[in-house]
Structure 1
């Protein structure tokens, strides 16, 4: 079981998979996956030869997740998106002796010596375009060396709606951290993309993990964006300028 914990918090297509893969490659920063997303619970339950949370006591699933996500040095890590963060808190509130605890207290009681890492993307239009492509193709991440597949059709309304959603979720994360007086280690996708190993080492230092104890830090996922993303960003910006303002 862990002695130190990390929750990588973000929004879809913010670079969270890239960061989690880099941290995992170090061998000393936990094995961050989306253990607490309802869409992945059945996968993890099958892997652990256990029942999904809806079919068995939450503590059983939690214990298996803590075991899976903890590296031999005792560091646990998981990735959490704002869109299902409340699901995690609701499940934690079902644990014994949870009455009267607020969200931060529930998390800290469950995850020892908890640290928060927030990853954001400065260019939220590029993020919305990337997210739209994922929705349209069903491809959310690609292992290194894999084929990106055929290009989908451009959809202004989808990009625009996802841009507003990204902004709302980013704001919600910041509000939550402010409400609970938490200062996360903040990482931007742009910095991570420019210096993957350097930013990863900064996160390791934030976790009080000696970077010299890490294995070689290597990317585990392929860059998702192509020239099509750049084309869509420019097209969206041009179309948005030409549209009448809305209230």
Structure 2
């Protein structure tokens, strides 16, 4: 049998990457992939809603988002950080899994800078020095407007996975400029990943959001085979799509606004 492969799922927010990593995790043979690299050093927290809108000064947008939590600064040293990530992300067969968003790449590079015996100071070196040799799995959602709508709802409700309670969903409000900002953020992230692949010559395992949502089992089998792991019976699906008719209505409304106001799509 080939040696099992460790892997890093590369994505942007609301692209379906959580469905993929949770399905891989449920197999029991494909690591325990988590979003290890999202935590900001000044707070120990993932980026909060208002931090995604740090360059937006329109109160009509910002006031729809919760105030910032102070959190607790990270004090863990780089070696302890690396050792914990390797332990928490691995299954007994030696496979490690993780997830990385483009906005998190500077955080990974900065944290890896404190490791001894560095092989370089770029992103590729930071990944290798932190988690070793990995295969790359790129998840892409082609409909960026729908992705941004999902993102905009999530930053208002702070529900990032699973069903949103009706009372929380009701607090989310449509705002074309909030969605437009996130369309730009997501476009920039995709541009960043594609430029990095071109610069490094990396060819990732490609996963399309629509394929993943439509036939999760087939995508799981394809990814496992690419990682030299045995295909598995699809675990009971742990996540359900959060989008609903409201998401579709907002996406259509935004497309109308984009045409009228010259907003990005």
TM superposition score normalised by structure 2: 0.81
The answer for the alignment partner of 2:59 in structure 1 is none
SS of aligned partner of 2:96: strand
* 2:148 counterpart of 1:120: no
| 1:88-99 correspondence to structure 2 within 5 Å | 88-98=108-118
The answer for the alignment partner of 1:46 in structure 2 is none
The structure-2 alpha-carbon separation of the partners of 1:117 and 1:99, relative to structure 1 and needing over 3 Å to count, comes to closer
* 2:187 counterpart of 1:167: yes
* 2:257 counterpart of 1:242: no
| CA–CA distance in structure 2, aligned partners of residues 31 and 177 of structure 1 | 25
SS of aligned partner of 1:161: helix
List runs of 5+ in structure 2 lacking aligned partners: 46-71
Moved more, 83-92 or 155-164: 83-92
The answer for the alignment partner of 2:104 in structure 1 is 84
| CA–CA distance in structure 2, aligned partners of residues 242 and 71 of structure 1 | 51
The structure-2 alpha-carbon separation of the partners of 1:244 and 1:33, relative to structure 1 and needing over 3 Å to count, comes to closer
Q: Confirm or deny: 8 A CA contact 2:4 2:229 kept in the other structure.
A: no
Q: Confirm or deny: 8 A CA contact 1:4 1:112 kept in the other structure.
A: no
The structure-2 alpha-carbon separation of the partners of 1:53 and 1:74, relative to structure 1 and needing over 3 Å to count, comes to farther
- Residue 245 of structure 1 deviates from its aligned partner by 7.3
| 1:77-226 correspondence to structure 2 within 5 Å | 77-98=97-118, 100=120, 102-142=122-162, 147=165, 149-151=168-170, 152-211=172-231, 214=232, 216-226=234-244
List runs of 5+ in structure 1 lacking aligned partners: 44-51
Q: CA-atom RMSD, angstroms?
A: 2.5
| CA–CA distance in structure 2, aligned partners of residues 53 and 118 of structure 1 | 31
The answer for the alignment partner of 1:37 in structure 2 is 38
The structure-2 alpha-carbon separation of the partners of 1:168 and 1:99, relative to structure 1 and needing over 3 Å to count, comes to same
Q: Tell me the alpha carbon deviations over residues 190-221 of structure 1, each in whole angstroms, 9 at most, x when there is no partner.
A: 1100100110111111111111xx35433222
- Residue 85 of structure 1 deviates from its aligned partner by 1.3
| CA–CA distance in structure 1, aligned partners of residues 122 and 247 of structure 2 | 41
The structure-2 alpha-carbon separation of the partners of 1:99 and 1:200, relative to structure 1 and needing over 3 Å to count, comes to closer
- Residue 42 of structure 1 deviates from its aligned partner by 4.8
SS of aligned partner of 2:6: strand
